[in-house]
């Protein structure tokens, strides 16, 4: 009886030494990674997504992290710090816009966006919408009122007044403050008529006009450094944007709409890929055998070496194995083996 605990201790030591050696030896570790990846893929060839797991637990996990887990504390703060760091990074001063996207790429992208059906439909809605004309009327009316208030200030709006003076039925030659309401009415009528005519006549060419405006803006700014955006967006703006995004997400994530979208998306994935083998599904998302082996060898050895230097590897393995060598099952096996 006295020898059996000693035997268990010696077997445990030998087993721990063997497992630690396999982890620390580069060739043995690589062989283990390749072997385990191949065993996993062999199983994945036979096991479909629907057989491996049902949609319900996946929905529960998605709902947990999208809806239930609070987005508080360190997460918003960390995102804000990263955004500010990227904003201040000197790399923005070193590269120009053309270093990121060249003329050909920009033209192809702008053309593709301009030809999108959604782009054409949005432009059509904007041009046909009464809000567009109302905005033009308000802008011109304010410009005219500004000139009437201070006629000697050299406002650029004076050209607008001249245009209206030549085109309104009775003109604005006698325009003065006592008849401001009459003037405003005439301005509104003339502007509304003119704006409607201009928008209708240019509706078919609106997408090309927008595309040409984008190209012109690109030509004007293509050689500027990426940091030029700081002329428009300040560091305070970055903070405000981060806060707005998190505030929106905090409210949106609690809506039944988002929960319904998550459930529907997961149902669709299982409907489409439920009978697909896991190995094929990995390939659909671009993960192959070589990728699994590469990443295992990339992260495994340095992590194991560091943990071993701190004494964690041996202690973890010993803790996991010791329970067996101290168990009744092990003692029963020793008795059976004599």
Give first-to-last CA distance, the chain, whole Å.
12
Cα separation values, 314 from 12, 24, 145, 150, 323, Å: 11, 11, 84, 86, 15
- 280-326 pLDDT tens trace: 999 998 999 999 999 999 999 999 999 999 999 999 999 999 999 99
- 50-67 pLDDT tens trace: 999 999 999 999 999 888
- 206-220 pLDDT tens trace: 677 778 888 888 888
Q: Say how many residues make up the chain.
A: 338
Cα separation values, 18 from 22, 36, 194, 246, 293, Å: 6, 18, 88, 50, 23
Following DSSP, what letter does each residue of 218-274 receive, concatenated? HHHHTTSBGGGGGGTS-HHHHHHHHHHHHHHHHHHTTSHHHHHHHHHHHHHHHHHHT
Contacts of 239 (CB under 8 A, 6+ apart): 80, 83, 84
Residue 23, pLDDT > 70, answer yes
């Amino acid at each position: 009886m006295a020898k059996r605990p000693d035997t268990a201790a010696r077997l445990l030591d030998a087993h721990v030494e063997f497992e630690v050696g396999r982890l620390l030896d580069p060739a043995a570790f690589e062989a283990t990674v390749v072997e385990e990846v191949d065993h996993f893929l062999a199983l994945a060839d036979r096991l479909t997504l629907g057989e491996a797991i049902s949609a319900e637990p996946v929905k529960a996990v998605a709902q947990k992290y999208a809806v239930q887990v609070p987005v508080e504390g360190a997460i918003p703060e960390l995102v804000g710090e990263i955004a500010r760091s990227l904003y201040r990074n000197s790399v923005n001063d070193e590269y120009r816009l053309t270093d990121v996207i060249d003329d050909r790429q920009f033209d192809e992208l702008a053309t593709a966006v301009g030809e999108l059906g959604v782009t054409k439909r949005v432009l059509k809605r904007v041009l046909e919408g009464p809000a567009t004309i109302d905005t033009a009327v308000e802008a011109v009316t304010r410009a005219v009122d500004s000139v009437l208030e201070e006629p000697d200030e050299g406002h650029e709006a004076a050209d607008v007044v001249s245009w209206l003076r030549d085109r309104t039925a009775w003109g604005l030659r006698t325009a003065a403050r006592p008849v401001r309401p009459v003037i405003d009415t005439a301005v509104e009528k003339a502007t509304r008529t003119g704006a409607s005519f201009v928008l209708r006549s240019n509706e078919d060419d609106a997408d090309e006009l927008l595309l040409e405006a984008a190209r012109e803006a690109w030509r004007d700014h293509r050689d500027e450094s990426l940091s030029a955006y700081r002329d428009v967006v300040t560091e305070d703006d970055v903070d405000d944007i981060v806060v707005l995004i998190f505030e929106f997400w905090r409210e949106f994530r609690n809506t039944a709409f988002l929960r319904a979208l998550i459930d529907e998306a997961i149902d669709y994935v299982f409907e489409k890929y439920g009978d697909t083998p896991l190995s094929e599904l990995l390939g659909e998302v671009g993960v192959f055998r070589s990728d699994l082996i590469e990443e295992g060898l990339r992260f495994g050895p340095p992590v194991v070496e560091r943990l071993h230097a701190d004494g964690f590897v041996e202690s973890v393995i010993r803790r996991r194995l010791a329970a067996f060598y101290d168990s009744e099952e092990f003692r029963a096996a020793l008795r059976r083996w004599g």
